[in-house]
Amino acid sequence: MPALAGILVMIGILGMLIAVHELGHFLAARLQGIHVNRFSIGFGPILWKYQGEQTEYALRSIPLGGYVGFPDEDPESAIPLTDPDLMRNRPILDRAIVMSAGVIANLIFAYLLLVTEVGIVGVPGGVQYQPGVLIAQVATDVSSVAAEAGVQARDIVLAVNNQPLGQAEAARDTLMQAIQANDGQPLQFHIKRQEQELDINIIPERAEDGMARIGVQLAPNGRLIRRPIQHLGELFSAAAQEFQKIVGLMAHTLGQLVGNFRESASQVAGPVGIVAIGADMARTDMTSLFQFAAVISVNLAFINILPLPALDGGQLAFLLLEGLRGKPLPNNIQEGVMQVGLFLLLGLGVFMIVLDTAKLMT
């Protein structure tokens, strides 16, 4: 697939995931009879809109999110403020259902994506190993003697000092032992790069933990073999296992980000980075986009449930305070907090776009 087509596919996927999130809010409100006057994908100037019987549907120019608008927030609305079907006049539980529905929609959609992927490509049926060790990643944020020597991601190390590494997990262990045992001593790597083979000399360096390293991430050189599903029960259970793994990984990643923000933040990708990764996957394996989209969908759910202003979690926090106080916070306080939160959220989005672009250029 051409690069431009891959980028367009990934932008479409991000737009779809945002639409699913907002559709969750929209349906949760409408199914309860709550008035909704706006449904927007994106922010900023309107590119396209349609005025329905009760709701204006719009596509806007800044694809960093979306929103569902209620007449309560519209000073030009003709609906009286005493209308029981206004969002503000509904019980806390009804409003909480609406606010949490976007997160729930993203989680359900992620599971359905995984069901589709498993139905197409099957379930894991073992690993087929090839000789050598895969260079899964070359470090860029720290000193990497491998990168300086010319090693690239996706290279396959077939031998070290003319000694074949073999295959499977044992090959990776052999290479790691050779690196750790030769601190400051040159090693000759015989590498396969696509259709060519070359020799690269690398001198491992002692890291802060006292171990000799070369600045790469190693993986066994193998590919996952999949087999067709045998019955519907296996389809849904296999998808559920994949979903559980993704949710667990997201929770672990979020915990790392909170616990060590400075180090973990450098590994976080923004919209441009996500599009670049997804476009690269689209060029090589379209079916892998199902799992990638599922990961992003779960990611959106986790981000939106955080108790931060302008996010669903922030709205739920306001509802919790209202339940504890017996009355809502004053409107001026809520509006001030939400405006600051929205400003910070958009600022973070712009910052991540600039950061991602700088990474791609370097």
253: how many CB neighbours lie within 10 A of its CB?
15
Catalytic pick among 22, 56, 234, 263 = 22
Tell me 1's DSSP state: -
Alpha-carbon span 231 to 53, nearest angstrom: 44
Alpha-carbon span 289 to 162, nearest angstrom: 39
Alpha-carbon span 244 to 247, nearest angstrom: 5
Q: How many CA atoms lie within 13 A of 153 on its CB side?
A: 6
Q: Show contacts of 168-175: CB within 8 Å, 24+ apart.
A: 168/129, 168/220, 168/222, 169/220, 171/131, 171/132, 171/133, 171/220, 171/221, 172/133, 172/218, 172/219, 172/220, 175/133, 175/218
Which stretches does DSSP call E strand in 38-85? 38-51, 56-69
| Nearest Cα residue to 114 out of 338, 289, 276 | 289
- Clarify whether 22 is annotated catalytic: yes
**Which string of DSSP letters, residue by residue, matches 184-219?**
TS-EEEEEEETTEEEEEEE--EE-TTS-EE-SEEEE
Q: Show contacts of 192-201: CB within 8 Å, 24+ apart.
A: 192/132, 192/155, 192/156, 192/158, 193/152, 193/154, 193/155, 193/156, 197/158, 200/149, 200/150, 200/151, 201/149
Alpha-carbon span 189 to 330, nearest angstrom: 67
| Nearest Cα residue to 99 out of 111, 90, 109 | 90
The residues carrying an active-site annotation are: 22
